[in-house]
Amino acid sequence: MARRAGLRPGWENQGMDAAILWRVAVVQVAAVAVLSLLLGLAFSHGFFEDWGWLVGPLAWMACAWLTARVVGLPETPVLVRAVLAGIPSLLFVLVGLHWLGAAVAVGVFAVLCARLPRPLAGDTP
C-alpha cells in the first residue's frame, strides 16, 4: 500500500479497524458513564446548569484522553477527533437532547479513531 503524505514513517492508513472502533466506543461510553455518575454525586444540578458548558467538554476530553491510553492510540490525534465528534453533540445539546448528543458523539468519535493510521507490523510509534 502506498504511503500517504504527512504520515510518520512506519505508519499506514489501513482503512477502518472494526476492533478499534468497538474498543474505543466501549471505553469511551464506560469512561463517560463513570465520570458522569461521579460528577453527579459530587455536584448539585444547579452547578451543571451554571457550569455545564465548561465541565461537559472538559469531562469529554478527559474521557477521550483515557480512552486513547487504554486502547493504545496516540493521544493528540485522538483528542483532535474528540473535539470533532463533540461538534454534532453540541447541536443536540442546544435542542435539549444532551444524552442523545453524547451517544452520537461516541459513535462519531469511535469511527474517527478507527480510521487513525496504525503502525505497520513490527514498527513502534
| Dihedral over alpha carbons 92, 98, 100, 105 (to 10 degrees) | 70
Q: With respect to residue 9, please indicate whether it lies within any of the assigned structural domains.
A: no
Under a CB-based contact definition with an 8 Å cutoff, are residues 66 and 27 in contact? Answer: yes
The pLDDT tens digits of the residues spanning 37-46 come to: 999 999 999 9
Residue 58 three-state SS: helix
Helix residue ranges per DSSP H, 13-97 = 18-42, 45-71, 75-94
Q: Is the model's pLDDT at 123 over the cut of 80?
A: no
Closest to 92 (Cα-Cα) out of 100, 84, 81: 100
Structural domain contains residue 113: yes
Q: Bridge partners of 11?
A: 119
Number of domains in the chain: 1
pLDDT at 68 over 50: yes
Measured between alpha carbons, how far is residue 106 from residues 52, 55, 67 in Å?
A: 18, 17, 11
pLDDT digits (tens, 9 = 90+) for 27-36: 999 999 999 9
Range of the domain at 87: 15-117
This prediction has a pTM of 0.82
**Does residue 4 sit within a domain?**
no
Q: What is d(CA 83, CA 64) in angstroms, rounded to the nearest whole number?
A: 9
Place of cell 466501549: 26
